[in-house]
Chain A
Amino acid sequence: MTRERTDFWVGLFILLGLIALVFLALRAGNMSSFSFAPTYRVAAHFDNVGGLKVRAPIKSSGVVVGRVAAIGFDNKRFQATVDMDLERQYQFPDDTSASILTSGLLGEQYIGLTPGGDDKSLKDGGEIQFTQSAVVLEDLISKFLYNSAEKQGSAPGSPASNPAAPAASAAGKPPGQGAPAAAVVQPGAAAPAAPHAQ
């Protein structure tokens, strides 16, 4: 084979490899969702970040507006500090609230931003004041048991020997767990914990 023909086939080979890599990166991978848009950094403090990871999406109204840049621990306030990179084209009011939500039932966790009504906007280096921590499954369960134990206690029966109560009161009511958890607990409260008391 002449030199030029060999070079041609080798060149074609390398080109095929590059095409394969580009295909993998763009069509199979998530590179098309890499945004090279300029961002500004905002911090928020949470009591519990749950399973939030770095590079988790930050969504507002379900649309990705940024990514989590870093997760750290503030030793003075004993809270988790989450640094977020928000795209510069999206401005949020100063009283925006951030909550850690789960996509689907058992999916990945992300931060959801709910805009407030303030005129001033968050700037680079600003901080989100209103936060809601992740829902921890164990707290949810103990809350459920505590609630059903309360229901047992208020009915005529023996509230004293109820094994659910000590466990629930030990876990306590975690601060900041808002309405959604209680609403889930109330409807199905009574029946499942019944066998213990009786």
Chain B
Amino acid sequence: MITGLGAFARLFGAIVARSSVLWRRPRLTAQQVHFIGNHSLLIIGVSGLFVGFVLGLQGYYTLNRYGSEEALGLLVALSLTRELGPVVTALLFAGRAGTSLTAEIGLMKAGEQISAMEVMAVDPVRRVLAPRFWGGVIAMPVLAAVFSMVGIIGGWFVGVMLIGIDPGAFWSQMQGGVDVIKDVLNGVIKSVVFGVVVTLIALYQGWTAQPTPEGVSRATTRTVVNGALAVLGLDFLLTALMFAN
């Protein structure tokens, strides 16, 4: 496991060292943002909407016991921007984009495309890994922000439209309690960190997969499991760092 960690760190260093592909061949990265980000929008959007619905419902039932239904907006917004937005998006991202990255690179390896690139003196890390890494890092915060926004709208729909909470109280309590720097920005920072970690794990698992069908299948499983564990562990760490008083 320690050698795995070392290889992981070395791959991270190698990818970051070749980041000049961002401005020399931006089209590669743009394509990856499209494959990773745009194609995840549907699942992120729908999940965000339903998470918002559920937050609205459950939040209302609990707050109702203490007579504080008007604070529903605040509850939904804080839960989403601080925690659920970055974390749930990262988990879905690991499942959807992470596995597709791992499978793609694992199959490239199995089909000897990586070796062919090396023979042609094309650096495969620069041509294949680096654009996908930066594509993931750019896409993650965008997806997390979309998740949070759609979730808040979902919470508004359930709270104001269905249950009948006063919309003025809903939004004003939210605006009074959600701090742009402490809550929204910290959520964005979390989503960037999660993007780096999940994308890197996905790329690493693909890169070191056994070039066989079972190997690729095991690698995609490891992407999801390791990615999820890393996200949840880092979330605790980051929350302790950011939100301690």
Contact = CB atoms under 8 A, between A and B. Distances in A.
Contact of B171 (A9, A16, A27, A31): A27
B81 A17 contact: no
Nearest to A55: B179
B175 A33 contact: yes
A24 B186 CA distance: 12
Contacts of A24: 81, 145, 148-149, 152, 184
A20 B145 contact: yes
B149 A10 contact: no
Contact of A20 (B31, B38, B142, B175): B142
B38 A13 contact: yes
Interface residues of B, number: 31
User: Which of A7, A24, A34 gathers the greatest number of chain B CB atoms within 10 Å?
Assistant: A24
Contacts of B188: 21
B149 A20 contact: yes
B41 A23 contact: no
A28 B175 contact: yes
A163 to B, nearest CB: 35
B234 interface: no
A29 B27 contact: no
Contacts, number: 82
B11 interface: no
A182 interface: no
The B interface, classified by DSSP as helix, strand, loop or mixed, is helix
A51 to B, nearest CB: 12
B42 to A, nearest CB: 12
B178 interface: yes
B169 to A, nearest CB: 14
Interface in B1-32: 27, 30-31
Given A6-B30, A10-B34, A28-B77, A17 B179 contact: no
B30 A29 contact: no
Contact of A29 (B33, B145, B178): B178
Contacts of A12: 38
Given A10-B37, A30-B179, A16 B142 contact: yes
A139 to B, nearest CB: 24
A17 B152 contact: no
B148 A10 contact: no
B43 to A, nearest CB: 14
Contact of B178 (A7, A20, A28): A28
Interface size class for chain A? 20 to 34
A30 B176 contact: yes
Contacts of B141: 17
Contacts of A27: 152, 171, 174-175
A10 to B, nearest CB: 5
B106 to A, nearest CB: 24
A13 B180 contact: no
Interface string A3-41: 100110110111011011101110111111110000000
Contacts of B178: 28-30
Contacts of B183: 29
A3 to B, nearest CB: 7
A25 B142 contact: no
Interface string B177-216: 1111001100010000000000000000000000000000
CB-CB nearest 3 A-B residue pairs: A17-B142, A20-B145, A29-B180
Interface of B: 27, 30-31, 33-34, 37-38, 41, 77, 81, 138-139, 141-143, 145-146, 148-149, 152, 171, 174-180, 183-184, 188
Given A14-B142, A17-B146, 9 more contacts: A7-B30, A24-B145, A28-B77, A28-B81, A28-B174, A28-B178, A30-B175, A30-B178, A31-B180
14 contacts: A9-B38, A12-B38, A13-B37, A13-B38, A16-B146, A17-B145, A17-B146, A19-B149, A20-B142, A24-B152, A27-B171, A29-B179, A30-B178, A31-B180
